[in-house]
Structure formats: C-alpha cells, structure tokens
Amino acid sequence: MTPPTASSLAVLISLVCATLASSAAGVRVDLTRIHAHPGVTPSRFARDALRRDMHRHTARRLAAASNTTVSAPTKKNSPGGAGEYLMTLSIGTPPVRYPAIADTGSDLIWTQSAPCSDHHCFKQPTPLYNPASSTTFGLLPCGSPLSMCAVEPAPGCSCPYNSYNYTYGTGWTAGIQGTETFTFGSTPADQTRVPNIAFGCSNASSDDFTGSSGLVGLGRGAVSLVTQLGAGRFSYCLTPFQDTRSTSKLLIGPSASLDGAAGVGSTPFVASPATGPSYYYLNLEGISLGTTALPIPPNAFSLKADGTGGLIIDSGTTITSLGNAAYQKIRAAVVSLVTLPTSADGSAATGFDLCFALPSPKAAPPAMPSMTLHFDGADMVLPSDSYMMQDSGVWCLAMQNQTDGEVNILGNYQQQNMHILYDVGKETLSFAPTKCSTL
C-alpha cells in the first residue's frame, strides 16, 4: 500500500529498546487476509483489489537491534476488504483489540478513534479505540522527532496537537498523533507490551480500509512500527488466497529468520532516493516464463535519479503492477502458451486485462510453467497459482499494467507461500518458497 507523493498502500525511534531488551521472545503477530470468506468469489476479490490498488497508486509519496522479537498474528480478513493481510494487536490500558492492515509500503500507524461518526469513518470489525478510556494514552509533543509535522511536513500538519491528513491516492485518514502502550501476541504466554509507541488517532477516514480498524506501517521511515521497535529485521509468510482458514505469522526482531529453510535466495535493497525513503526497493533484472527469458527492456525496472521508476515489494498492495513495456511482454508470453479462447466477459468481471474461458465453470486450467523474477543475486520462482487466478469459468493473468516510469510494485498475491525476511540491518531481502500454513 503505497502512499502518494505530496503526502505519500492504506496507515504509524527507538524509544522502546529498553523494554524490548527485557524479553527474549519478541513480537509475534498472526496475519489474516481480508476476503478470506467462502462467499467472496475470485472475481469480486480481483475487482475490489484492483480498484483499491489503483486508488492507492494514483499518487505516491515518493536502529539498533534489540533482543526481543515481536510476533503479530496475521490472517486474511472478511468480506469488504480487497486482499490485504491484517495483523492483530491491542492498544491502550485496558487493551482494545485492533486488526490492522500490515503495510510495508508506508510508515504511519493509525486506528480509528472516538469520537468518530459513521459519516466520517468506515465501518470496522471492533469497537473504536477511545483515548479517554485508556490510562496510558498521551499526546505526542510537537517537538517529538516522531511528529508527522517534522517527519513529513505537509499542509495537513499543525500543532500543538500534531494533527495530520495522510493521503493514499484517493484514500485518506486524518486525526492527531498520540503515544500508547501496544500489546502484541494472541495469548498471555506470548504477549509483549511496549509503551510509548507513536500512532495516529484518526477521527475521519475514507472507506478504503473497510474490514480493518486501521493500518500499521512497516516501512523504513521513523514512525513505522519496525523503526520504533528498533528491530533489525522482520519476516512474514503469507498463506495462499484460496486458503480461508490458515493464519501466518509476522515476526519483528531477532527471531525473524529463514534458518533451516531450503532454497533461500537473497538480494540487496536498492538505496532509496530522497523522494521515497520508506520503500523497500529491489533490483529486478529480468523475468522468465518457464525457460524463456522475456525480451523486457533492460531499464524497465531501474530506479531513476529523480526518484521515478524502480520496483518495491509491498505487503499492502494486492496485485503486482508493472510498467507497460514489461507487462506487455509477459502478457504476450502467456497468450502464446495458452490455447484457450480469451474471455472479454471474464476480463470485465474481474478487472484484469487478460482472461481465458475455461471449458466449464469447474474445469481445471491447463498446466503452466513457473515464472521467475530475476533479482540481483537471487531468483524468485512463482508457480502458476501465484501469477494466474481462477474464477468460475475463467482463468486470468493476476497482474496489471501501468504507465512506464511509475514505480513497479511486487504485490502480496505474488508473495503467497513465500517466506520473506526483511533484514534492515544488513540491507537485504531474503526469501524461500514455503507452505506458509505449516509454519
């Protein structure tokens, strides 16, 4: 989920290192994917995901390691969302449950807070957080280095209460910044309480975040959860979109690792330009379908000196979005391998550009080779289920094209069943194909 340039994917330095150092377990959170519901068809999912991804891409905002790991339960969510993964944590004293979109494409942590009318806020699955009901809430001082007015000065920032208006394409949220105690972990045995986390109390938001109660930024900026925890690394493994029951784990801290995993590949992060310090940029050098290297222009994924282009990995965006020059080569290669007729009706229903008509609604699609993303130093191999999507009677290429020169995005649909480690200290991304429901 990538925020826009002027106020730049739907979302909160290390003030808590001493607290984290007191525990060896760390932060562990389950993840739940929005739309993990039997009544949600792939066509509705795809259409909603593309709509929200396009909204978020309309415009863009171009620590010391601790001995504790924070774990966040993460799971696919209910109808009304569009393919994001939610991490469940709690805010305040007494703690209030808070399912929030886990977003590596932005920084701000925020939740809808009372007072918040139906006219100004979206419907959420849990009660509103109320600062007046928590004994640990405090206003964030304007002089704090975590103030949005200091981190990302914008017309919406104002003091003395650090008010903000944070925009994500056509989505937005507004409120004031505070500090609170956050509780991570789903059971008393694995819970970790961390005080003084800076976050946003949103009193008005667009409806682009329905299905959650807010958003947790996991980007590289000062106000992200990763930075505030002083974490040197974090990891997640996203269960498949067709799996409506399993949860996966988000680990933040030393326990986040790929130790023992087979087929681990690692690629360095690309240094961010001044206009996009929060993104995790990667150097994608090419793409193959099966054994065929696609004739994509060598600079299709290059990050330019002015901050345009490049490719980021983003847990808050659903569908991978590539510049037209690269996308058309992928599209042509898929068309050349599939003998099924194309389906205009299927494309209209899903919102995807390329869909094929299956012989019957329950027919299995034909076999397709894997797609390989050739990163600097490592190959990420995607099985056909991670780049094609089947609906009743149609089979679609689950990618979208965009204008050349915009930032390319590796979305979470293409990250399913991949154990991914962000090592911020070593400036590398590592990954290994994994059956995430078994972790």
* Catalytic sites, residue numbers: 103, 314
CB atoms within 10 A of CB 15: 18
Q: Please give the Cα distance from 239 to 74 (Å, whole number).
A: 9
415: DSSP letter: G
CB atoms within 10 A of CB 264: 15
Q: Please give the Cα distance from 281 to 319 (Å, whole number).
A: 17
DSSP β-bridge partners for residue 58: none
Q: Is 351 helix (H, G, I), strand (E, B) or coil?
A: coil
Find where tokens 């290059």 sit.
Answer: 302
Which amino acid would we find at residue 332? A
Non-local (6+) Cβ contacts of 318 within 8 A are: 49, 50, 52, 53, 82, 83, 84, 411, 412, 413
Q: Please give the Cα distance from 402 to 54 (Å, whole number).
A: 10
Percent of the chain that is helix, strand, coil (3-state, to 5): 15, 35, 50
Which ranges of 182-340 would DSSP assign to H, the alpha helix? 225-228, 324-337
- Six-digit token pair at 143? 């002089």
Q: Within the chain, how many helices (H) and strands (E) appear?
A: 6, 27
Preceding omega of 115 cis (within 30 degrees of 0): yes
User: With the C-alpha atoms ordered 149, 70, 320, 285, is the resulting torsion angle positive or negative?
Assistant: positive
342: DSSP letter: B
**CB 8, CB 165: distance < 8 Å:** no
Residue (of 34, 64, 416, 426) closest to 226 by Cα position: 64
Q: Is 334 helix (H, G, I), strand (E, B) or coil?
A: helix
Non-local (6+) Cβ contacts of 60 within 8 A are: 2, 3, 4, 5, 8, 276, 406, 407
